[in-house]
Amino acid sequence: MTIAQLCVAGEGVAHPAESGSLPSMAGTDLLQFDTTNLPRVILNAVFRAASIPELTPRARALLAALARTVDARRPFAAIFARRELLTGRAIQSPRTFYRSLNDLEAAGMVTRAAQMRYGQRGQFGRTYIHLTARAAAILGLTAEQANAAKPHSSVSPDATLAHGAIYKDQFPTTQKRQPGTLPTDLQRLRVLGFGDFLIFRLMREARELGKRLSDVVEATWQHLKAATRPISYLRALLRSTADFSYRIRAIAAEAEALHESEQERQRVDQTITRCAGLVFLDRSGSRRFDVASDGESVTVYEVAESSPRVAVSGWRAQFVTALHRKDIFEAKHAELEAFAAARRRATTPANSAGQGSDIPRALTPRGRDELSTIKALLRVW
């Protein structure tokens, strides 16, 4: 039966004001505790005493008990406390208590005065413990409390709790994540003063606004790193209506096209290098291609033309494309002999005056250029 049920039923549960004691909770008596409020300097001293790694655990426990017992206004005065009180506060047996006291004395933290006599009985029985100057400085009980345990550092700031912000919220409603690994393209924001938490927060804000922080940073990086206040500038970019993803896609497309063009150029250069100094014919057998030994030019022979044509630029890509489509092929000796014979028959004067007189002559590119020049001069005149 719960406490509420007992109160309703009236089964012997008295009001605290009437009985003078608190009721039992779930059948268990309340624990007894000391309501004494220790001064802050004593609390700091107890904490420091329990945080000295050079001492043994038992010595740290006894030093914390001494820090609770010493007079903060007179840290070097004798500690008036019976052995039972100190062993109880240190939670030690008498034998462990004396071992701990020896450890503290060996470490220079306490001194023990000579044993004193009882005034009336004349018996030895009292020994007072004193903190040393080193112990008082370490525990923060003197003005020379500039972190004697860490002399190389400055005075530590006051902590709100014993171990900093680890125990800030014992029952949090929301838990703040630790920063994970930033994307590679966003790590450059650190040099502009962006912290990891801020970058992850900006990633969330960008996602809520329908953007990607990586796209915004990539598209505006040159302007962002030159901004006087990059954080404010980046937030303004996130709130803008610009489509940064489209810009990134356009940049990526341009880069891809440039990469493909470079790959194609390398492929053409490699093919021309392999074809340097070779002779090729087309499938119809009407053209012969002589690639120069350095691969910089190609000489084209037509069956019906007596003079060859030389191509210096703009022929490499077309030549490689025709070669891959097998429109041209590397000629053998017999095929070259047949092409030469056909060219001799087509270009002899007798053949041109006889049966070849009714065949129209082909206009070469050179002849076309010269004809255009003559027409232009006639128009001027």
CATH number of domain containing 54: 1.10.10
Is 217 inside any structural domain? yes
Task: Point out the residues of the chain with pLDDT beneath 50.
Answer: 1-23, 25, 145-155, 161-169, 352-357
Q: What is the pLDDT of residue 99?
A: 93
Provide the domain limits for residue 74: 40-139
Same domain, 219 and 277: no
Same domain, 229 and 303: no
Is 259 inside any structural domain? no
pLDDT digits (tens, 9 = 90+) for 75-114: 888 888 888 888 998 999 999 999 999 999 999 999 988 7
Same domain, 276 and 336: yes
CB 149 within 8 A of CB 58: no
Same domain, 79 and 121: yes
The CB density around residue 214, as the number of other CB atoms within 10 Å, is 17
Q: What is the pLDDT of residue 373?
A: 80
Q: What is the pLDDT of residue 119?
A: 57
Give CA–CA dist 270/264, Å, rounded: 10
Q: What is the pLDDT of residue 2?
A: 38
Q: What is the pLDDT of residue 11?
A: 40
- DSSP 8-state secondary structure symbol assigned to residue 99: H
Q: What is the pLDDT of residue 242?
A: 87
Is 199 inside any structural domain? yes
Q: What is the pLDDT of residue 189?
A: 92
Is 55 inside any structural domain? yes
pLDDT digits (tens, 9 = 90+) for 165-217: 444 445 555 555 656 788 888 999 999 989 888 999 999 999 999 999 999 99
Is 277 inside any structural domain? yes
pTM for the whole thing? Answer: 0.36
The number of domains in the chain is 3
Q: E-strand spans in 85-219? A: 110-112, 116-117, 124-126, 129-131
Please give, one letter per residue, the 3-state secondary structure of 276-342: CCCEEEECCCCEEEEECCCCCCEEEEECCCCCCEEECCCCHHHHHHHHHCCCEEECCHHHHHHHHHH
Same domain, 56 and 95: yes
